[in-house]
Structure 1
Amino acid sequence: MPGALDKLTAGGFSVGVELPLDNDWSPAGEAARRASGRLPGEPDMARHGELARLADRLGFRALWVRDVPLYDPQFGDAAQVFETFSYLGYLAGVTGRILLGTAAVVLPLREPLLTLKSAATVNRLSNGRLLLGVASGDRPVEYPVFGRDFARRGETFREHVALLRDAGASRLPEGVRMLPRPEQPLPLLVAGLAQQAPAWAGEHMDGWLAYPGTPEDHARRSAMWRGAAGAKPYISFIHLDLLADPDAPIRRHRFGAAVGRNGLIEELRAMRAAGAAHIALHFRRSQRPVGEAMEEIAAHVLPHFHVEAVAAQAPACIAETVTHEMRVVA
């Protein structure tokens, strides 16, 4: 049975979305934030369930959530607000097939056996849809609050990865087991390098969650990753402002771009050519309503990248019909 990582990369390349599904970094979103009294960097989560279901229905391959335990005004970013594993449990219940990824759980801040139990629980409740992205963390203020050593976070990260790999056996007394037991090993994806050497990450991790960048950035990084990890997938993100004009040329901004849908198709093709196996779209800069942008991408962009995976997984007669219909939509 294909695992979550196999499903993510089916067809050779896929497109997902990163939560929160809000556009609070746009001028209109910032005005709405101020009017509502939310903190800078605190998204509006009122429609989060509706938009997660929409992403599932439209055929995006994965939903990605981040792990930000504490709001630090110096960073000014609360991510999706909710605690990561609790939120994934909710998302597992309101969606049916979309993969659920963490980008990424900060291992050194957490008790590792509880991390294992939380991840195994979400994986079981979602019928094997979890992609466990993990990190060493980059917010120094959090470590003393949780009684953790920031300087030692790289070593702690390696210890926690080892425990996740052996399902806790190295820590548990004889005869004691952690339940639920994963039916397959949980896929572990490293965000950045987590204070590790590339060779260590390539050997011990199942994929790389790379920071956003240009296709040229990704070509350099993915070449390094392939040298360390072989064919293990390289994954990244785009902070996207999808412009209403389909032919609007690309204007790059930090971590992404403002572009029309035809330019987005070309950018994703360039990302694929640069070695990316999956790109998730982040909409907080979107000047248009997030649902509207997602629907346009599903109708006009996803068929260029997901049709091969749909056709490969369907019976021949159905696959031919699906392929034809998707090309008509495109």
Structure 2
Amino acid sequence: MRFIFHYPETGGVDADILDPGPLGEVAAAAEEAGFAGFSLSEHPAPGARWLGAGGHQTLDPFVALGYAAALTSRIRLITYLSVAPYRNPMLLAKAAATLDKLSGGRAILGIGTGYLKGEFHAVGIDFEERNTLFDEALDVLPLHWKGEPFSYTGTHFSARDVQARPTPVQQPIPIWIGGNSALSRRRVARAAHGWIPMSGGAELSSTARTPELGSIDDLARKIAEVRSAAENAGRTDHIDLVYSYSHTGLTGPGEDPEPHRKAFEALARAGVDWITVSTRAGVHDTVDPAVTLEFLSSFGTTYID
């Protein structure tokens, strides 16, 4: 089992994004603690109403992960998630390739279709086109990364005999797709290297416009179906399963780690490869930098071999 530390997302309208601690220091501490991945999400223009109801701010994930890359040497750098329809796929591919090249092959591109209508309007993208735009990105990304001339006509662009360099270190950069829908799972089986289901329960699933994930048994069945579908499509590479573990009480004086160890073991039996943890603040709370660093050290000592 490998663990990802998701840089804590500060809630509400007044919190500062870097309240949980200096990004580079936190990334380096996560690497030192034994985490295999460090991740950031993306919301370029979140609505004030959504923020007040529990939403969160973010840094630009590609800029921030590029900064983290310079202060680390091993940890994987993950967009969790970048909203693919927000960007022309050439720009998305270039950002990911640049991060991979500068980090020595440590990038993982986690992408989703997005769900905040107001944010789509703010960045000038038609919300109803999000699935079409997402599928176009899936087509373009590997073509762009090969570094050879290619052509592709999309809904709002026409690339004729373009050739993009630098090529990323990884060929291709791993793509992880978020979402619980059958469509998301079909996309993973066809064209991605990992699946990031949403595990936050009914309320979060409703907000994010995706079905509930269900029980661990449901998860195990869906993982098996995705991997079987990939094999039936002629694929031989492993499909990673990335699970967000949001339970409280992971670390701290007097906390019993055994229930969490058992939960991690159950997830591993279900087919989970990566578990994401964080110290996300509540809507009106902040995460003190010292708390973040203590969490990383304690989690690494308690749960990471």
Q: TM-score, normalised by structure 2?
A: 0.78
* Structure 2 residue corresponding to 1:203, chosen from 173, 179, 190: 190
- The yes-or-no answer on 1:296 pairing with 2:298 is yes
- The yes-or-no answer on 1:62 pairing with 2:62 is no
- The yes-or-no answer on 1:192 pairing with 2:179 is yes
Partner of 1:271: 267
Paired amino acid for 1:81: T
* Structure 2 residue corresponding to 1:113, chosen from 85, 90, 94: 90
Q: TM-score, normalised by structure 1?
A: 0.72
Displacement of 1:159: 0.7
Instruction: Decide whether the 8 Å contact of 1:207 with 1:234 is kept in 2.
Output: yes
CA displacement, residues 64-91 of structure 1 (integer Å, 9 cap, x when unaligned): 1111111223332665621111111101
Instruction: Provide the C-alpha distance between the structure 2 equivalents of 1:189 and 1:39, rounded to a whole number of angstroms.
Output: 31
Displacement of 1:193: 5.3
Partner of 2:225: 224
Go from structure 1 to structure 2 and tell me whether the alpha carbon gap of 1:198 and 1:51 turns closer, same or farther (over 3 Å shift): closer
Instruction: Decide whether the 8 Å contact of 1:236 with 1:278 is kept in 2.
Output: yes
CA displacement, residues 197-222 of structure 1 (integer Å, 9 cap, x when unaligned): 63343111111011126634532432
Q: 1:13-32, aligned counterparts within 5 Å?
A: 13-20=1-8
What SS does the corresponding residue of 2:151 show, helix, strand or coil?
Answer: coil
* Structure 2 residue corresponding to 1:50, chosen from 25, 32, 36: 25
Partner of 1:284: 280
What SS does the corresponding residue of 1:16 show, helix, strand or coil?
Answer: strand
Go from structure 1 to structure 2 and tell me whether the alpha carbon gap of 1:240 and 1:41 turns closer, same or farther (over 3 Å shift): farther
What SS does the corresponding residue of 2:220 show, helix, strand or coil?
Answer: helix
- The yes-or-no answer on 1:85 pairing with 2:62 is yes
CA displacement, residues 171-190 of structure 1 (integer Å, 9 cap, x when unaligned): 4443x421211242111110
Instruction: Provide the C-alpha distance between the structure 2 equivalents of 1:195 and 1:108, rounded to a whole number of angstroms.
Output: 19
Q: 1:239-258, aligned counterparts within 5 Å?
A: 239-241=246-248, 242-245=250-253, 248=255
Displacement of 1:142: 1.4
- Bigger-Rg structure (1/2): 1
Instruction: Decide whether the 8 Å contact of 1:218 with 1:276 is kept in 2.
Output: no
Instruction: Provide the C-alpha distance between the structure 1 equivalents of 2:58 and 2:188, rounded to a whole number of angstroms.
Output: 29
Instruction: Provide the C-alpha distance between the structure 2 equivalents of 1:226 and 1:219, rounded to a whole number of angstroms.
Output: 11
Displacement of 1:135: 0.9
Instruction: Decide whether the 8 Å contact of 1:198 with 1:228 is kept in 2.
Output: no
| CA RMSD after TM alignment | 2.7
What SS does the corresponding residue of 1:141 show, helix, strand or coil?
Answer: helix
Instruction: Provide the C-alpha distance between the structure 1 equivalents of 2:46 and 2:112, rounded to a whole number of angstroms.
Output: 18
Paired amino acid for 1:244: G
Structure 2 unaligned runs (5+)?
A: 153-158, 201-214, 232-237, 282-286
Shifted more, 98-107 versus 283-292: the winner is 283-292
Aligned residue pair count: 265
Instruction: Decide whether the 8 Å contact of 1:243 with 1:261 is kept in 2.
Output: yes
Paired amino acid for 2:222: R
> After TM superposition, which residue ranges in structure 1, 4 or more long, deviate above 4 angstroms?
40-43, 77-80, 285-288
Partner of 2:242: 235
CA displacement, residues 289-326 of structure 1 (integer Å, 9 cap, x when unaligned): 222122122112101xxxxxxxxxxxxxxxxxxxxxxx
Paired amino acid for 2:300: A
- The yes-or-no answer on 1:178 pairing with 2:164 is yes
Displacement of 1:109: 0.9
Displacement of 1:48: 2.5
Instruction: Provide the C-alpha distance between the structure 1 equivalents of 2:223 and 2:117, rounded to a whole number of angstroms.
Output: 28
Identity of aligned residues (%): 26
